[in-house]
Amino acid sequence: MPSYPPSSRVRVRRHPERGQYDEATLHAILDQAFLCHVGFQTDGQPYVIPTLYVRIDHAVYLHGARGARLSRVLRQKQPVAIAVTLLDGLVLARSAFHHSVNYRSVVILGQAEEIVAPEEKTSVFQALLTRLTPGRFETVRPPRADELAQTAVFRIPLTEASAKIRQGPPIDDPDDLTWPVWAGIWPIETRLGTPEASPDGDPSVPWPDYPVNWATRE
């Protein structure tokens, strides 16, 4: 299956057996999550900024206000690190030391390319909104020219990326297996809650039939 050959910078070293580099695994994690954290350094100060993203083909796309610090850094093609994490469960062991979490994560390193064509920026917005709420972009007012001008959009290719996955039960020491405490996995699920209408909304406009499970969109 296609893969992203890992560089020395993104190859998983701690628990290397958890490293995954195939395209299908990385894309699946990126497509289930919707929030990433972008790390960068500017003026001698490191920053980590949470932001929404969307994957399109072999790249992730970020957006933000044109004058925002992150937008300025991305526009200057400074190196950035992007992290995406899905928590799947708390791993409860018989010892405090061996407690852990089950997770799926992706780390991306690279430089950004700014997207300036209005039609391409609109396509990115459509892809992002479709990821969050499928079908909604076709029902809302499309972005105006001035809104597109106020917003910066950036593409970061998935040329240097890796996934790391931890699954399964706790790994207890043999001497702890008889310790009289429950051990196992406490699953974590992300679901959408009950919609709350805007106070200035029209009560006659029905709530769309959106999927309620964030992971499966069912």
- Give burial (CB, 10 Å; 0-12/13-18/19+) of 127: middle
Contact call for residues 129 and 136 (beta carbons, < 8 A)? yes
Q: Is residue 45 part of a domain?
A: yes
**pTM, two decimal places:** 0.89
Alpha-carbon radius of gyration of the chain: 21
Q: Is residue 38 included in any domain, yes or no?
A: yes
Q: H-helix or E-strand containing 164?
A: strand 161-166
Structural domain includes residue 11: no
pLDDT of residue 2 exceeding 80: no
Q: Is residue 204 part of a domain?
A: no
Q: How many domains does the chain have?
A: 1
Euclidean distance between CA atoms 10 and 213, whole angstroms: 31
Section 174-185 average pLDDT: 96
Nearest to 143 by CA among 160, 158, 126: 126
* Any domain includes 217: no
| Cα separation, 38 vs 44, whole angstroms | 16
> What are the b/e assignments for 56-95, b being 16+ CB within 10 Å?
eeebbbbbbeeeeebbebbeeeeebbbebbbebbebbbbe
- What is the span of the domain harbouring residue 109? 16-172+180-187
10 lies in some domain: no
Task: Decide if 205 is inside a domain.
Answer: no
Question: What amino acid occupies position 67?
Answer: G
Q: Classify residue 73: in a domain, yes or no.
A: yes
State the amino acid at position 29 in one-letter form.
Answer: I
pLDDT tens per residue across span 112-159: 999 999 999 999 999 999 998 888 899 999 999 999 999 999 999 999
DSSP-assigned letters across all residues of 24-86: HHHHHHHHH--EEEEEEEETTEEEEEEEEEEEETTEEEEEEETTSHHHHHHHTT--EEEEEEE
pLDDT digits (tens, 9 = 90+) for 66-103: 999 999 999 999 999 999 999 999 999 999 999 999 99
pLDDT score recorded for residue 213:
57
Residue 1 has pLDDT above 70, yes or no: no
Instruction: Please give the structure tokens belonging to residue 128.
Output: 């992002």
CATH number of the domain residue 75 falls in? 2.30.110.10
Kindly state the DSSP code that residue 191 receives in the 8-state scheme.
B
Please give the pLDDT value at position 124. Answer: 96
